[in-house]
Amino acid sequence: MDKFMFGRYIPGHSWVHKLDPRAKLVMSFMYIGVVFFANNFWTYLVMTALLLVSVLATAIPIGVFLRGLIPLFWLMIFTVLIQVFFGAGGHVYWQWGWLSVTHNGLTSAGLILMRFVLIILISTILTFSTQPLAIADGIESLLSPLRKLHFPVATLALMLSLALRFVPTLMDEAEKIMNAQRSRGVDFGAGGLRQRIKTIVPILIPLFVNAFNRAVDISTAMEARGYQDGEQRTKYRQLKWQRADTISFIVFVISLSAVIVIRYMS
């Protein structure tokens, strides 16, 4: 659990930390969209430069970002190998039965790997620098036009924020239950698949039962505090779009437009 950095929030006061979550969400989505337009050296150079500047602006050491890539290492290797061996066309460097390494295969593997890394890193910037709750707020705010279509945006947002609120609590609980069962002689991670599945039951059942009891308590407490589903509520937490958001946003729009322009010019 310790080494699992992907999707984790790292507190800080950097330029990026202070940005409005809506700005960060929209910029990340735009970036991911434009990654698929990048197709040559110059476009990738712009994308990489933009990413590097963003990473630096988080004031989080680059090493921590790279560690975030570790859990996805095998997935990346796998994708790259598929591309290398099954990508066809161009000069054939090596062939063995239906497996071949071709020029086009290598190029597309390189492209895929590059896109993969860029997309992961830009999402990591978002999660490292933004509290999960702020992301939820941002999503709610971005979805708010859907309210006109009677889409229950506020209820969904509350559910999301409650879920996020209880993630640490449930993780804690899972650990306690695992310790208790380990003390009763359960060997996690030992034996074959069947054995392993059997060891999950003594964790999942208590975890589920406790979560259910918790949910009953929480809904009672919420009702006692005046919560009625579907009723209008005011909002304590509000997002504020600031100059830094506008500036960052413009930088992104210009850089990303440049990528598209370069692509169609060359």
Partner 1 sequence: MATDITFNEVDYWYQAGSPYAVQALRDINLNIKPGSFTAVIGQTGSGKSTLIQHLNALLKPSSGTVTIGDRTIDATTKNKHLKPLRKKVGIVFQFPENQLFEETVLKDIAFGPQNFGVPTDEAMTLAKKMALLVGLDESLLKRSPFDLSGGQMRRVAIAGVLALEPEVLVLDEPTAGLDPRGRLEIMQLVTQLQSEQDLTIVLITHQMDDVANYADHVIVMAHGEMVKQGTPRAIFSDADWLESYQLGLPSATRFANQLIKAGFTFDPMPLTEDELADQLLPQLSKEGHDHG
Partner 2 sequence: MAIIQVKNLSYKYHNSDTLAVDDVSFDIQAGDWVAIVGHNGSGKSTLAKLLIGLMPAQEGVITIDGQELSEQTVWQIREKVGMVFQNPDNQFVGATVADDVAFGMENRQVDRETMQERVTYALKQVDMLDYQQREPANLSGGQKQRVALAGVIAIAPKILILDEATSMLDPRGRREILQTIKRLKDELNLTVLSITHDIDEAASADRILVIDDGHFIEEDDPNSIFSHGSALIEMGLDVPFSEKLKLALSTRGLDVPATYQDEGSLVDWLRTLRSTK
CB 69 within 8 A of CB 139: no
Helix 243-265 with 41-57: angle, nearest 10 deg? 170
CA atoms within 13 A on the CB side of 60: 27
Phi, psi of 88 (to 5 degrees): -115, 160
Q: Which of 158, 170, 202, 260 binds partner 1 (CB under 8 A)?
A: 202
Q: Please give the residues from 201 up to 220 whose contact with partner 2 meets the rule CB under 8 A.
A: 214, 217-218, 220
- Measure the CA angle with vertex 159, ends 156 and 161; round to 5°: 110
Give me the least distance between CB of 211 and partner 2, in Å please. Answer: 11
Closest by Cα among 142, 121, 139 to 16: 121
Q: Say which residues have a Cβ less than 8 Å from residue 172's Cβ, sequence separation at least 6.
A: none
- 13 binds partner 2 per the rule CB under 8 A: no
User: Residue 180 binds what, of partner 1, partner 2, none (CB under 5 to 8 Å, by partner type)?
Assistant: partner 1
- 1 binds partner 2 per the rule CB under 8 A: no
- 163 binds partner 2 per the rule CB under 8 A: no
- 206 binds partner 1 per the rule CB under 8 A: yes
CB 222 within 8 A of CB 4: no
How many CB atoms lie under 10 A from the CB of residue 195? 11
- 177 binds partner 1 per the rule CB under 8 A: yes
Helix 103-129 with 73-86: angle, nearest 10 deg? 160
Q: CA 182 to CA 176: how far, in whole Å?
A: 10
Q: CA 129 to CA 59: how far, in whole Å?
A: 10
CB-nearer residue toward partner 1: 97 or 185: 185
Secondary structure letter of residue 144 according to DSSP: G
Q: CA 1 to CA 56: how far, in whole Å?
A: 26
Secondary structure letter of residue 223 according to DSSP: H
Q: Which of 48, 79, 100, 181 binds partner 1 (CB under 8 A)?
A: 181
Query: Which region among 109-117, 162-170, 186-194, 240-248 touches partner 2 (by CB under 8 A)?
Result: 162-170
Give me the least distance between CB of 123 and partner 2, in Å please. Answer: 21
Q: Which of 95, 155, 169, 179 binds partner 1 (CB under 8 A)?
A: 179
Interface characters, 92-121, with partner 2 (x: CB under 8 A): ------------------------------
- 192 binds partner 2 per the rule CB under 8 A: no
Q: Please give the residues from 209 up to 238 whose contact with partner 1 meets the rule CB under 8 A.
A: 209-210
CB-nearer residue toward partner 2: 167 or 253: 167
Q: How many residues bind partner 2 (CB under 8 A)?
A: 29
Residue ranges in contact with partner 2 by CB under 8 A: 131, 133, 161-162, 164-165, 168-169, 172, 214, 217-218, 220-228, 231-238
Residue ranges in contact with partner 1 by CB under 8 A: 2-3, 64, 173, 176-177, 179-187, 201-202, 205-206, 209-210
